């Protein structure tokens, strides 16, 4: 078997990175909005404590997506041909 990188796998790899970084950007914006909402008491129909839990969950999700993006960047997508 020989290892041959393909255009298709490269495109998918690139799109995966783009999607991960887009998600990271949105989560960053969400965190800033949640912080502002907590600061100003804009909790909607939930308590301050519940909104703080949402913020904590969003921060955790951001760390997960950062890990995913880092893992994707380190991965070289290839396919095997005989």
Among the listed residues 68, 50, 59, the one whose alpha carbon sits nearest the alpha carbon of residue 31: 59
Question: Are 21 and 69 contacting, i.e. CB atoms less than 8 angstroms apart?
Answer: yes
Mean pLDDT of 45-66: 98
For residue range 17-31, what is the model confidence (pLDDT) as tens digits? 999 999 999 999 999
Among the listed residues 64, 10, 55, 60, the one whose alpha carbon sits nearest the alpha carbon of residue 36: 55
* Dist. CA 28–CA 19, nearest whole Å: 14
Residue 80 has pLDDT above 50, yes or no: no
Residue 77: predicted pLDDT: 47
> Mean pLDDT for the chain?
86
Residue 49: predicted pLDDT: 97
């Amino acid at each position: 078997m020989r290892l041959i990188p393909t255009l298709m796998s490269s495109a998918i790899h690139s799109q995966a990175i783009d999607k991960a970084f887009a998600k990271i950007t949105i989560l960053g914006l969400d965190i800033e909005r949640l912080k502002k909402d907590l600061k100003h008491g804009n909790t909607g129909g939930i308590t301050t404590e519940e909104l703080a839990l949402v913020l904590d969950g969003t921060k955790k999700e951001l760390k997960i997506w950062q890990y995913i993006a880092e893992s994707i960047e380190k991965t070289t997508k290839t396919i095997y041909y005989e």
